[in-house]
Structure 1
Amino acid sequence: MAVVVNPRTELVGRELEAAALRERLRDPSVRLVTVIGRAGVGKTRLAEEVVRGIGAEFDHVEVLDAAAASRCDAGPAGLRVKAVQKSGFGGRVLLVLDGCDHEARGAAAGAVAALAEDAHVVVLATAVEPLGVYGEQLLPLAPLPVPVAGGGAEGELHDVPSVSLFVRRARDADPSFALTLENAGAVAEICTLLGGLPLALELAALRLRLMPPHLLSARLRGGRTTVLAGGPANAPERHRSLAALAEWSCRGLDPAARALLGRLSVYEPGFGLAAAGLADEEAVEPLMDRGLLAVVGEERGELRLAVPEPVRSYARAELAEAGGEAAALDAHAERYRRLVAAALPGLAGTGQDRLLRESAAEGANVLAALRRLRDRGDGEAAAALVLGCHVPWLAQGRLREGLEWCDGVAEGGGQPLPEALRARLADLSGVFALALGDPQEAVRRHRRALALGKGVGDRRQNALVSVRLGTALLRSGDAPGARAVLVTAFSALATMGVTGGTAEAASSLAASLHAEGDRRKAVEMLERAEETFRRIRDGRGLAGALRTAAAMALENEEPDRAEAALREALRLYEAVGERTELPGALEEFALLLLRTSPAQRPRAVRLLAAADALRGETGAEVPQEWRSEAERARTELSSRLDWTDFATAWAEGVRMTAPMAVAEALSTPAPSRRPAAGSTAEALSLTPRQVQVALLVSEGLTNRHIAARLDISEWTVVNHVRQVMRRLGCTSRVQVAGAVGRWA
């Protein structure tokens, strides 16, 4: 005889888990299956649904509340006796032990052990963590998936399980509720704030009787999810409110684990093990076993963690009540201030790609640290942190935010900042202004930085500011003024031995020389910049120089060389997670395709659309002349392609993420090349030593480095390089590198 389970609402988003559980319970070799997961994730609900479906396949089904049974029957011994009694029905018995947590966990494990010899009994248990019994099979149950960043239209959100559950329960509470274009963003935010936890979603849906989604989402922001309550009167107490659920989840934690949970409650979701200093923390494992510390992602082999809601809100409130919140916030801010400072030297060289991606992953916590430093009036520490975020924020496209922080910290209350810090903040604000597409404002800010810097007497910093001023002047159309500033800055930085700054100056100076028509000097300067960027492994700087090289190659009717440069630039941008400069590179590649590969028009449309959408995320504007060129390209494409094909390709491009857009560009077939300079046949005409020299040139090594590597004189290297260039028909080291790349 099977026990009839009371009817419940429809199970949403658990089709795969339900199918997997059914198959395990039907397997004759399986004796114990434990559904594990956080409190409120729906373990009991899943077990009931599966038992309802397959209960008839057993001779008897019995459901026991493990906690209640252990309390009413003299603890573990009583639960073991009751479990053994249930096994005496004969035939196949399915015994469900629900809620094997806290004080009931040991009793449940003992009961299962007592049934080990009875081959007719199958046990289905639900618990926050494994029972630890031999032969136990686990079925982890995670919260429902939430909408991806950026949300989506209401049609797309309907397919997200957490949204689907929320909408169904909202309709139960208010039959007139519907997911619309107007409320889709708020609904997506609610599901994300609640982490897809089914119980939390159901409690939140009930609140729509009282307030619209946008007010509910605002109410839940800032760690206030524990305000949700109103669960069914016949539900366990822990299911009637998120505050009760969080308290129950933390019950029984040892002091060390509870203290760690409190400290981590001030961290924003997605922090790394190393960033939070958890590598040697023994209390991490117990918290993870209980679901109080969840894995939310991975970045290059390192776990990204979060204290999930509502536990985070509860632990934070408990920390504040105990008077420890301020100290935890200060410790968090200090940790991230040091992390940013430690990463700063590597952001323009070896390890740049790793550091930029780690910075992006920790972005929310860096901002939280910055807010804490500002709120406690530590202006100098806040300024140093903003300056340390220079490259990461540029790479991530956080331009408006960066500009606002520069201005806010520089003008904040409290003690006035030292002039040196105000000068550097003014300079950085000019960088953000230029990236946002306002070169005149950038010029104004850089000039202010120079004026402030005169009193400080920091020649190195003033020279770097001059480089950025020259770049802004060039973008504003003043090529002669840019050249004058950049020549002086380049000379000063080279004299001081500032390698990265010299390369940056050389790259900008090459662009200004090119704008004035001095191609020969521009090429020489650009080669120097590329060589330096390669040597110090500054991928982001190299990508910018390669884009300039591509523009020069196109003017010189060398589309193949331009394409090779743009392909490398795109690969470099993807490696560092670049978002500010990537849209421009994608547009340049799309326009090149239109020029060289008419058959690739649909791909060009997708790339232009992706660039447009990605630039929109940064809030940057483009120069009018470039906007006009892109508009002409779009007009031409729409006239040459069928309108439906154009619209479809454009829609596909808009939906692309940055990695997808880069992959789309790089998947373009390389154009066939005639045997020419750099072909394999001509490479075979080189001597073995010349081949060695050519390969080292392609790696970006200088003549001095090549001489040291091959143990020959520098003058001999110069002669070899000249012979290589003559035999391959190249006029520059950049062309030699391109030729070597084609040998493969």
Structure 2
Amino acid sequence: MLLTHGARPDAARAPRRPADTGLIGRTEELRVLDEWLRDPAVRLVTLTGAPGAGKSRLAGAAAEAVAPARTGSTAGSGVVPGAGVTAVVDCDPADPGAAVAASVRAGAAGGGRVLLLLDGCDHEARPAPVDVTRLLDTGPGVVVLATALEPLGVLGERLFPVPPLPVPPDGEYDEDTDLERLCAVPSVELFTVCAARARPGFAVTEENGRAVAGLCALLDGLPAALELAAARTRWYEPATLLSRLRDRPGQLYGGPAGAPERHRSLTALAEYGCRGLPDAERALLDRLCVYRPGFGTHALDRADEPAVDGLLDRGVLALTDRAGAEPRYAVREPFRSYRGAALEGRGELTAARDEHAERYHRLVTAAAPRLAGTEQARWLAVLGAETANVLAALEHSHARGATERAATLVLGCRQMWPARGLLREGVAWCDRLAAGVPQAAAVRLNDLGGELTAALGDPVEAVRRHRTALADGKRLGDRGLSARITAHLGAALLATGDAPGALASLEPAVAALEAVGAAGPAARATTTLAAAQHALGHSRRAADLLDRGTAALRRLGDLRGLTEARYVAALLAMSSPDRPDPDEPAADAALREALELCRDTVDLSVLPRLAEDFALLVLRRTPAQQPRVVRLITAARTLRRRTGSTPPPAHRAALEEALTGIRSRLGWSPYALAGAEGRALDATGLIAEALSAPPAPPGKATGTGEKRLTARQLQVALLVSEGLTNRQIAARLDLSEWTVVNHVRQIMRRLDCASRVQVAWAIGKWT
């Protein structure tokens, strides 16, 4: 939640109650339609989209906006005399000819244009293209504005797709989300306005914000569905309503008595939208309705392309991402639940889910060998985008008793679980399946559970899991598997602080992995071994091992492994028994490269740790970057809360100490503002925020030892950078002028500056 200057986190927040603004979230659409309908070259505009998207209201509002002649004047409309719309005529789409001639003559007499509104050109009321053409030929001043599920197919037709209203990102809201920003999302705003009609005083609050966001996402932002759901808030709280609708959105019904029958329930709305679908499109819709929204071309066959186009035209299928490398789709509500219920009624729902699970089993099986080489980033992105469907396939396989197939999916996603931050989910699946699969699969599941547990921040439990896996794995006689588990055990032991135990596990593991030709696992284990050697004070040996492991990981193209290696390099640079001062430029360079690699893989398990260590380095090197440090640490903490991971106790204490010191120096309001900005950052924004920090000057540790400014010196330096004189600074800080002079001298000496201008530049470049 964003805090304004001077606000306290425990201050009471008044709920937001938006006014009833009529047509909500369509400002840009109205602007474009207004421009088109005033253009003499435009003769036919068709608003297309799913039923319930608000096409009729939008068309009516657009017609009202472009018809100034209803008041007898075109003044102020920005239209050349003779080009304004002088009449709007509502026509029956099935038989529009009767009212047209007289209206056109009346409009022509005024030297303007006549807008013919054909609302609901669907099914039995759909006019033939030749009839629409005949309408346009009635006179040069005729303009047709139509609404339809699909294009009318007339030459010169301008299509205007009307999508549902935008929904909150990911359909989520938590205590870190800005309530004002949530209420400004058009779907939330419409739901709030309609709910306030049914239940006076209703407002979106911090308590019900998550449920309201979930409802808007569940209903895909479809205005008709949001209105039906909002009407039920007179009985139910949003959380209860969301729970009741989660599996069966189609049960929504009601609405105003005067509404068309198709708008009286979501089932009727979906039936209207699906009426008349060709067999191929209906069959494809039935197959895709079990897919979670946001699926890629893996769900489609080449023969499906014509049917896909037809479903897109009708608004049943939506493109959720047209800017990516490949398009992504979603079956909109209410069609998804409507066709799912139809499949269930025919006894075909399980078969459709079987087919869905089989497709994703093939996808994960194909991706698994590509997740350790040069294609790692691409396939991590593929699996990351398909996470919801992979998890659905996993759940269905397990429910059907296909435990081994489910285990194959879990193990095939070995890289995906940590990279996408699904640590708790991965551990839960490992535990759930380990008892019901053959021993070889159980050993691998226990080992994977140990890795994910270590990433969660519980290395002691990770050691226990790895030891169990190792004991069971030795009975299998698979040398390579035992070596991998031993390497993972060594990493967990190192995280517990047992460097000798880690060394004892990692050295034989590296040798065994190299002997069996497992280059990738051997390179990763080598970098962990370097960290163990460093912990024992063997810095030269650690550097040699790290160089060897890093070179191997670069050759293999293992970006996740290379990220870990660069993090180890930063640790080595920051502390070494044979070097008195940290090599901050080297640590800065290593962490920056790790963050850049993380940007390619979006590895949510390692990103918080990288961001936190980078923030501490920035604070040590350039104290004037304190607001950025707060943003980075807060964003990392938010990400940890999402993934469920916790930092080691000593690291957590260092972070708390840093934040406490910053808060005392900055004051509450700037500190709270920086924290709110940090909570608003997603993973990509966190990486961008870190990489935008000025790099450390090569060969100089400007923030350490005698170069480091005290809190008071930093205050004085910041005021110098603002151009204040010594006397003004003394008055501002309630100090004597002579004390300020001494502070300025110390600042200039510590920053290697010869003038106040240079001090201002040195401080200003970091802020």
Q: TM-score range by the shorter chain?
A: 0.7 to 0.9
Contact 2:91–2:99 (CA<8 Å) still a contact in 1? no
Instruction: Tell me, in whole angstroms, the C-alpha distance in 1 between the residues paired with 2:301 and 2:425.
Output: 28
| Residues 123-134 of structure 1 aligned to structure 2 (within 5 Å) | 123-134=144-155
Q: Which runs of 4+ in 1 moved over 6 A?
A: none
- How far apart are residue 639 of structure 1 and its match? 2.8
Instruction: Tell me, in whole angstroms, the C-alpha distance in 1 between the residues paired with 2:41 and 2:644.
Output: 59
Give SS of 1:348's match.
coil
Tell me the residue number matched to 1:544.
Answer: 564
Cα deviations by residue, 1:95-134 (Å, 9 ceiling, x for unpaired): 1000112233343652344423511211111112221212
Matching of residue 161 in structure 1 with residue 173 in structure 2: no
| AA of the residue aligned to 1:17 | E
Contact 1:97–1:108 (CA<8 Å) still a contact in 2? no
Instruction: Tell me, in whole angstroms, the C-alpha distance in 1 between the residues paired with 2:121 and 2:427.
Output: 53
Instruction: Tell me, in whole angstroms, the C-alpha distance in 1 between the residues paired with 2:317 and 2:307.
Output: 10
Matching of residue 257 in structure 1 with residue 281 in structure 2: yes
Structure 1, unpaired ranges of 5+: 1-7, 71-77, 677-744
Go from structure 1 to structure 2 and tell me whether the alpha carbon gap of 1:627 and 1:59 turns closer, same or farther (over 3 Å shift).
closer
Cα deviations by residue, 1:252-288 (Å, 9 ceiling, x for unpaired): 1111110110000010000002344457533111111
Contact 1:84–1:114 (CA<8 Å) still a contact in 2? no
Go from structure 1 to structure 2 and tell me whether the alpha carbon gap of 1:44 and 1:674 turns closer, same or farther (over 3 Å shift).
same
- How far apart are residue 243 of structure 1 and its match? 0.3
Instruction: Tell me, in whole angstroms, the C-alpha distance in 2 between the residues paired with 1:344 and 1:42.
Output: 44
Residue from 620, 637, 641 that aligns with 1:612: 637
Cα deviations by residue, 1:705-738 (Å, 9 ceiling, x for unpaired): xxxxxxxxxxxxxxxxxxxxxxxxxxxxxxxxxx
Tell me the residue number matched to 1:687.
Answer: none
Residue from 116, 119, 125 that aligns with 2:140: 119
Matching of residue 37 in structure 1 with residue 49 in structure 2: yes
Contact 1:266–1:332 (CA<8 Å) still a contact in 2? yes
Tell me the residue number matched to 2:420.
Answer: 396
Tell me the residue number matched to 2:597.
Answer: 572
Contact 1:84–1:115 (CA<8 Å) still a contact in 2? no
Residue from 168, 172, 178 that aligns with 2:203: 178
| AA of the residue aligned to 1:473 | L
Tell me the residue number matched to 1:54.
Answer: 66
- How far apart are residue 510 of structure 1 and its match? 0.7
Instruction: Tell me, in whole angstroms, the C-alpha distance in 2 between the residues paired with 1:138 and 1:310.
Output: 23
Give SS of 2:89's match.
strand
Cα deviations by residue, 1:467-526 (Å, 9 ceiling, x for unpaired): 000111111111111100111111100111100110111011111111111111111111
- How far apart are residue 84 of structure 1 and its match? 4.8
Give SS of 2:681's match.
coil
Contact 1:80–1:111 (CA<8 Å) still a contact in 2? no
Give SS of 1:367's match.
helix
| Residues 510-549 of structure 1 aligned to structure 2 (within 5 Å) | 510-549=530-569
Contact 1:80–1:108 (CA<8 Å) still a contact in 2? no
| Corresponding pairs, count | 654
Matching of residue 504 in structure 1 with residue 530 in structure 2: no
- How far apart are residue 89 of structure 1 and its match? 3.4
Tell me the residue number matched to 1:643.
Answer: 668
| Residues 670-709 of structure 1 aligned to structure 2 (within 5 Å) | 670-673=695-698
Contact 1:112–1:123 (CA<8 Å) still a contact in 2? no
- How far apart are residue 298 of structure 1 and its match? 4.5
Residue from 650, 667, 674 that aligns with 1:625: 650
| AA of the residue aligned to 1:140 | P
Tell me the residue number matched to 1:102.
Answer: 123
Tell me the residue number matched to 2:267.
Answer: 243
Tell me the residue number matched to 2:104.
Answer: 87
Contact 1:273–1:304 (CA<8 Å) still a contact in 2? yes
**Range 602-611 or range 162-171, more displaced:** 602-611
Tell me the residue number matched to 2:617.
Answer: 592
Cα deviations by residue, 1:2-51 (Å, 9 ceiling, x for unpaired): xxxxxx98111111111221222222222111112211000101111222
| AA of the residue aligned to 1:101 | D
Give SS of 1:653's match.
helix
Cα deviations by residue, 1:166-221 (Å, 9 ceiling, x for unpaired): 01111111113222111111111000100100000001011112211111101111
Percent of paired sites with the same residue? 51
Give SS of 2:327's match.
strand
Contact 1:80–1:107 (CA<8 Å) still a contact in 2? no
- How far apart are residue 233 of structure 1 and its match? 2.0
Give SS of 1:163's match.
helix
What is the CA RMSD across the aligned residues, in angstroms?
Answer: 1.8
Instruction: Tell me, in whole angstroms, the C-alpha distance in 2 between the residues paired with 1:545 and 1:229.
Output: 57
- How far apart are residue 645 of structure 1 and its match? 2.0
Instruction: Tell me, in whole angstroms, the C-alpha distance in 2 between the residues paired with 1:257 and 1:360.
Output: 28
Residue from 331, 338, 349 that aligns with 1:325: 349
Give SS of 1:323's match.
coil
Cα deviations by residue, 1:77-103 (Å, 9 ceiling, x for unpaired): x44455456434342321100011223
Matching of residue 310 in structure 1 with residue 337 in structure 2: no
Instruction: Tell me, in whole angstroms, the C-alpha distance in 1 between the residues paired with 2:299 and 2:207.
Output: 38
Go from structure 1 to structure 2 and tell me whether the alpha carbon gap of 1:540 and 1:256 turns closer, same or farther (over 3 Å shift).
same
Cα deviations by residue, 1:337-356 (Å, 9 ceiling, x for unpaired): 11001101111111111111
Residue from 250, 257, 274 that aligns with 1:233: 257
**Range 278-287 or range 436-445, more displaced:** 278-287
Contact 2:450–2:463 (CA<8 Å) still a contact in 1? yes
Go from structure 1 to structure 2 and tell me whether the alpha carbon gap of 1:178 and 1:104 turns closer, same or farther (over 3 Å shift).
same
| Residues 77-476 of structure 1 aligned to structure 2 (within 5 Å) | 78-80=95-97, 83-84=100-101, 86-91=103-108, 92-107=113-128, 110-116=131-137, 118-149=139-170, 150-151=172-173, 152-222=177-247, 224-277=248-301, 281-298=305-322, 300-411=324-435, 416-476=436-496
Instruction: Tell me, in whole angstroms, the C-alpha distance in 2 between the residues paired with 1:625 and 1:631.
Output: 10
Instruction: Tell me, in whole angstroms, the C-alpha distance in 2 between the residues paired with 1:157 and 1:328.
Output: 36
Give SS of 2:697's match.
coil
| Alignment TM-score, normalising by the size of structure 2 | 0.83
Contact 1:464–1:489 (CA<8 Å) still a contact in 2? yes
Instruction: Tell me, in whole angstroms, the C-alpha distance in 1 between the residues paired with 2:300 and 2:560.
Output: 28
Instruction: Tell me, in whole angstroms, the C-alpha distance in 2 between the residues paired with 1:315 and 1:280.
Output: 18
Give SS of 2:67's match.
helix
Give SS of 1:123's match.
strand
Structure 2, unpaired ranges of 5+: 1-19, 70-84, 702-767
| Alignment TM-score, normalising by the size of structure 1 | 0.85
Contact 1:113–1:133 (CA<8 Å) still a contact in 2? no
